[in-house]
Structure 1
Amino acid sequence: MARRKSIEIEGITHRSAPIPLGAKVDQLVFSSAIAGMDPASGEIPEDPVKQVELVFRNVERFMEISGGTPADIGRMTVYLQDEQYRDLVNEEWVKMFPDPESRPARHSVVKNLRMGAIVQVEIIAVLP
């Protein structure tokens, strides 16, 4: 049996690219870019608030499929299309990680994102 297992969320894809949404190796979980894609439509909504909410819902679902919870996330990298979206991310961040004594490390980068995304995240988690 392979140590590495691909992780997918139904309705969330990298289109035609042969890339899984993430991978689990033993107790370590790594994501590819997780965007604010709506799993029901397979589209990224134009509304920035909705997009950021979906990113964090997709992270929750990703961790559930991986066998964990957001509490297992050790690091999150946030990619922003523009600095103006940082406050929206911070709102969802505090909802997901309300305890300031128990939040993952985080790094944010401003870069050009594709497919209408204004935010994407990558995570590294360690399962119990």
Structure 2
Amino acid sequence: MSRTSIRVDGFDHGAQPIPVASRKGSLIATGGIYGLDPETGTLPDDVAAQTRLMFWQLERVLSAAGAGFDDVVRMTVYAKVPEARAHVNEHWLKAFPDPASRPARHTLAYDGLPANMLVQCDVIAMVDGHD
């Protein structure tokens, strides 16, 4: 079973030779997913917009890998500012509305995010069947 690099138009890790996600069989793991604005190609300066766009970009990456929010089993969130948690929770509840079927999540206070990035996540997902 081979590994497949996942790419999404308009979203990448810059000049780094890293795909946005990788899939091997039923397992999907993302790299860092952040709130890149597709219209400007930049990060907005506010955490609310970055969080909304992070979840939107995550949905795109999962879709490109053949998955969706229902397939996520673990999410790690890196937050540079404390107020990020409330915005993450807002979008978390939209993405995972069923309290009996939510992935595990770990939210870390992390000051090492680059430039004006205020929030970032990565996920592990598992899909039924495999290519």
Number of equivalences: 127
Mark the runs of 5 or more structure 2 residues left unpaired by the alignment.
none
Residue 31 (str. 1) matches residue 30 (str. 2)? yes
Q: CA RMSD in A?
A: 1.1
2:93 counterpart letter in structure 1: V
After the TM superposition, which residues 77-116 of structure 1 pair with which residues of structure 2 at under 5 Å, given as runs? 77-112=76-111, 113-116=113-116
Shift of 1:115: 3.0
Q: SS where residue 76 of structure 1 aligns?
A: strand
Q: SS where residue 83 of structure 1 aligns?
A: coil
Shift of 1:42: 2.1
User: Which residue does 2:19 correspond to in 1?
Assistant: 20
- What's the CA shift string for 1:46-76, capped at 9, x where partnerless? 1221110000011111111111111000000
Residue 123 (str. 1) matches residue 123 (str. 2)? yes
1:44 counterpart letter in structure 2: L
Give TM-score scaled by structure 1 length. Answer: 0.94
- What's the CA shift string for 1:76-115, capped at 9, x where partnerless? 0000002221001100000111111010000011112113
Give TM-score scaled by structure 2 length. Answer: 0.92
Distance in 2 of aligned mates of 1:90 and 1:82: 14
Moved more, 27-36 or 38-47: 38-47
Mark the runs of 5 or more structure 1 residues left unpaired by the alignment.
none
2:23 counterpart letter in structure 1: K
